[in-house]
């Protein structure tokens, strides 16, 4: 910790979260280091620009949204370029999180209707690791959907270079990807903020409380703290 941090009384967990994660510091646990948070917020920002600039191109019903970006002409070039930035940041996220997101036996119950209990606490399942099955499914589906958006987007960017069959398929895939993202992000934002108190700070400060970690991700809590509370 630098002397500036000491004199301004910055929370030690927040300081450690600049470089490291999965470490307990006093009352808190570092969940997301600074580089992961920066990538997540870059991806979220580019996603919102894609969404906002794409909807007025999609249908005149959302034509008013073009004013937010300086008109429809601006949206036409901003949309594909922000799309590229979104896909690049999604790829960086993939590099940072893919190991923690491997699907394990304990995650399988989330495949099915339980998916909608996404991010919800573990209900007595002591083997939930850093991410639960719902979060992992969302992660992998976002990677696949981003690739589908990118591939179909390239066809729609240079339509004259491709056959009409491919153009039709790309319109369909781009719209399906858009609908998927629009619905899943609403759920994601809800669960990451209002529905699960204590989660949002993991993406701002980088830290969570020990109680939050024990409730939602008990195996991760045990691994990070060494506190095997099951034995008590
Ligand atoms: C704009 C508002 C957003 C908010 C408030 C938000 C919030 C969060 C929070 C708090 C986490 C950490 C969850 C944890 O540590 O357990 C997280 C993780 C994640 N976010 Fe976001 N996010 C937003 C946008 C996005 C967007 C646009 C995407 C992708 C297109 C995205 C993809 C992810 C993924 C894949 C994870 C890891 C898996 C998970 O925890 O669900 N987020 N987000």
Residue 207 has pLDDT above 50, yes or no: yes
Q: Which atom of ligand 1 is nearest to the CA of 201?
A: 10
Residue 112 has pLDDT above 90, yes or no: no
Percent pLDDT > 70 in the chain is 91
40 close to ligand 1 (CB < 6 Angstrom):
yes
Closest-CA residue to 77 (of 88, 66, 87) = 66
User: 123 or 197: whose pLDDT is higher?
Assistant: 197
Residue 1 has pLDDT above 70, yes or no: no
Across 154-169, average pLDDT: 97
pLDDT number for residue 154? 97
pLDDT number for residue 231? 44
Q: Which atom of ligand 1 is nearest to the CA of 31?
A: 15
202 close to ligand 1 (CB < 6 Angstrom):
yes
203 close to ligand 1 (CB < 6 Angstrom):
yes
pLDDT number for residue 33? 96
User: Among 2-16, 128-142, 143-157, 203-217, where is mean pLDDT lowest?
Assistant: 2-16
188 close to ligand 1 (CB < 6 Angstrom):
yes
The gap between the terminal CA atoms of the chain, to the nearest Å, is: 35
């Amino acid at each position: 910790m630098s002397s500036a941090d000491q004199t301004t009384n910055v929370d030690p967990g927040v300081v450690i979260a600049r470089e490291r994660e999965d470490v307990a510091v006093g009352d808190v646990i570092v969940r997301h280091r600074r580089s992961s948070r920066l990538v997540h917020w870059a991806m979220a920002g580019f996603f919102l620009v894609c969404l906002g600039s794409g909807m007025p191109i999609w249908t005149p019903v959302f034509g008013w949204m073009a004013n937010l970006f300086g008109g429809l002409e601006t949206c036409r070039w901003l949309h594909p370029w922000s799309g590229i930035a979104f896909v690049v940041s999604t790829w960086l996220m993939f590099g940072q999180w893919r190991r923690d997101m491997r699907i394990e036996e304990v995650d399988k119950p989330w495949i099915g209707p339980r998916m909608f209990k996404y991010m919800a606490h573990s209900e007595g399942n002591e083997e939930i690791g850093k991410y639960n099955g719902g979060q992992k499914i969302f992660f992998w589906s976002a990677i696949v959907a981003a690739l589908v958006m990118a591939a179909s987007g390239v066809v729609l960017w240079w339509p004259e270079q491709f056959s009409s069959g491919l153009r039709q398929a790309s319109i369909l895939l781009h719209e399906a990807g858009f609908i998927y993202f629009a619905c899943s992000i609403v759920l994601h934002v809800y669960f990451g903020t209002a529905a699960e108190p204590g989660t949002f700070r993991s993406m701002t400060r980088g830290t969570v409380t020990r109680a939050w970690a024990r409730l939602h991700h008990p195996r991760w809590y045990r691994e990070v703290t060494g506190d095997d509370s099951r034995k008590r």
